[in-house]
Amino acid sequence: MVEIQSFAADFHIHSKYSAATSSQMDVATIAAQARLKGLDLVGTGDAFHPSWLRSLREELVEVAEGTFEHQRYRTRFILTAEVEDRNRVHHVIILPSFSAVESLREELAKHSQDIDGDGRAHVELGAEEIAELVVAHQGLIGPSHAFTPWTSVYKEFDSLRDCYGDRIDAVSFLELGLSADTDMADRIAELADLTFLSNSDAHSPWPDKLGREFNRLGLAEPTYEEVVKAIKRRDGRRVLLNVGFDPRLGKYHVTACSRCFKQFPMDVAVRLKWKCDDCFGWIKKGVLDRVNELADYPEPRHPPHRPGYLRIAPLAEVIGLATGEDPHSPGVKAEWEGLVTRFGDEISVLVDASPEQLSEATNPRIVEVIKAFRAGTLRVIPGGGGRYGHLEIGTEVAKKLPPKPQRKLTEFVA
């Protein structure tokens, strides 16, 4: 009997060739940072961009059909891309080989003016036509960040069938996005049979972005063939756990102004005709309000195959909350490096290490905040309008925190 093991995977990232993306999104840096995060499998992203495709071919070695490995860091990759269709809906595509990437790229290039210039190409085809081409190349397709108020299936359409038409059968998964979780998505009846994926859509390689959302997959081994079985829920392979943001931390969770970020109840936004009454910026409908519009059920109805959803936040943000420092400060970085070195990766610190193990590795304030984070007792200030939400220490948690450690003063002699 085949032994099923758990592997962490993030299938939606971008390269340095996508707009608004870090110049350090190169193959080696992604591979190295994925190991620090705790990811076993990463999607390549941007596989249709010629320069990125060349880098993938040069730096990755095929270790199983459709499965590639970085020889220094041993991070495994599968070939993925994201495209934007004529309706500005984004789709994640997973492909089995370099030859399939090149062949599909050739077909899409007939309908795209920027496929050579932008890692996330715009294609003048509808979702139904793109899905048809993906299936012809033995690939998988699903909507990216399905609920966001920009470039998503539920921004433009009220149902998946309205978007994908007669090729609705080609849709193998749905990506939840940072502002939604399974409790929200499972209020919509048409999604009951779909596998949900939680991916980072990372634009930089650092662990606060790469793997900020990921999936724990039950596989016999980390290969493309096994991933396909898990997404299609075959032979005992499946998604064991979706791991991602508390949706309130996402940039578009609640309805808010996209200029000043003032938040609005839905009825007020409608009355104001989606113009902010403070700064006159455009109000963007939040994911929560959009789900409420689409929902068939007042509460989630999880199908039997649906895994749990574990809410996480970047470890640097949790440490910063405990220490009162900026998450990007040298002090937080030092604490982060110490914990990741001790436990092997960020996911192990956030999710797996026991409080006793943490107490041996870091100061008590950080331990208490990680415990509060796991217990869901930190305050969440929701995001909206394009600004992320954030965590705060509430009164009850604050009462449990020991005093902040005093920093030693260093005397300098002239």
Do 212 and 348 sit in the same domain of this protein?
no
Structure tokens that stand for 27 in this block: 């193959």
| Amino acid 405: pLDDT | 62
In-domain check, residue 359:
yes
Structure tokens that stand for 259 in this block: 């200029």
pLDDT tops 60 at residue 410: no
Do 234 and 326 sit in the same domain of this protein?
no
In this structure, of 85-99, 103-117, 286-300, 384-398, the range with the lowest mean pLDDT score is 384-398
In-domain check, residue 392:
yes
| Amino acid 406: pLDDT | 52
C-beta separation of 139 from 106 below 8 A: no
Question: Where does the pLDDT of residue 245 fall: very low under 50, low under 70, confident under 90, or very high at 90 and above?
Answer: confident
Do 176 and 74 sit in the same domain of this protein?
yes
Do 224 and 344 sit in the same domain of this protein?
no
Do 64 and 198 sit in the same domain of this protein?
yes
| Amino acid 375: pLDDT | 86
In-domain check, residue 294:
no
Out of 223, 248, 273, pick the residue that ends a domain: 248
In-domain check, residue 284:
no
In-domain check, residue 155:
yes
Do 129 and 233 sit in the same domain of this protein?
yes
Rounded CA separation 290/90 (Å): 17
Do 347 and 223 sit in the same domain of this protein?
no
1/56: higher pLDDT:
56
Question: Where does the pLDDT of residue 253 fall: very low under 50, low under 70, confident under 90, or very high at 90 and above?
Answer: very high
Per-residue pLDDT tens over the stretch 40-58: 999 999 999 999 999 999 9
Q: Where are the alpha helices (DSSP H) in 12-95?
A: 27-37, 50-59
Collapsed DSSP state (helix, strand, coil) of residue 350:
helix
Could you tell me the sign of the dihedral formed by the alpha carbons of 329, 335, 336, 341, in that order? positive
Domain at 145, CATH number:
3.20.20.140
Do 129 and 10 sit in the same domain of this protein?
yes
In-domain check, residue 266:
no
In-domain check, residue 84:
yes
pLDDT tops 50 at residue 70: yes
Per-residue pLDDT tens over the stretch 117-144: 999 999 999 999 999 999 999 999 999 9
- Any idea what DSSP says for residue 169? G
pLDDT tops 50 at residue 80: yes
Do 158 and 66 sit in the same domain of this protein?
yes
| Amino acid 97: pLDDT | 98
- Any idea what DSSP says for residue 348? I
Out of 197, 232, 248, pick the residue that ends a domain: 248
Q: Range of 172's domain?
A: 5-248
Do 318 and 224 sit in the same domain of this protein?
no
Do 17 and 124 sit in the same domain of this protein?
yes
pLDDT tops 90 at residue 314: no
| Amino acid 172: pLDDT | 97
In-domain check, residue 49:
yes
Structure tokens that stand for 144 in this block: 């990216």
| Amino acid 402: pLDDT | 79
pLDDT tops 70 at residue 186: yes
Collapsed DSSP state (helix, strand, coil) of residue 43:
strand
Q: Where are the alpha helices (DSSP H) in 38-188?
A: 50-59, 98-109, 127-136, 153-156, 160-164, 182-185
268/400: higher pLDDT:
268
| Amino acid 413: pLDDT | 37
Nearest to 231, CA basis, from 199, 273, 257? 199
pLDDT tops 80 at residue 407: no
Buried b (16+ CB within 10 A) or exposed e, 272-289: eebebeeeebebbbbbbb
- Number of domain units in the chain: 2
Rounded CA separation 237/229 (Å): 6
In this structure, of 288-292, 312-316, 362-366, the range with the lowest mean pLDDT score is 312-316
Chain centroid to Cα 217, Å, comes to 15
In this structure, of 69-83, 161-175, 267-281, 384-398, the range with the lowest mean pLDDT score is 384-398
Out of 213, 248, 283, pick the residue that ends a domain: 248
pLDDT tops 80 at residue 1: no
Alpha carbon dihedral 340, 342, 348, 351, in 10-degree steps, equals: -100
Question: Where does the pLDDT of residue 109 fall: very low under 50, low under 70, confident under 90, or very high at 90 and above?
Answer: very high
Do 46 and 133 sit in the same domain of this protein?
yes
Structure tokens that stand for 320 in this block: 């910063």
Looking at every residue in the chain, the average pLDDT score rounds to 94
In this structure, of 18-22, 186-190, 341-345, 397-401, the range with the lowest mean pLDDT score is 397-401
| Amino acid 411: pLDDT | 38
| Amino acid 412: pLDDT | 34
| Amino acid 403: pLDDT | 79
Region 216-224: mean pLDDT is: 98
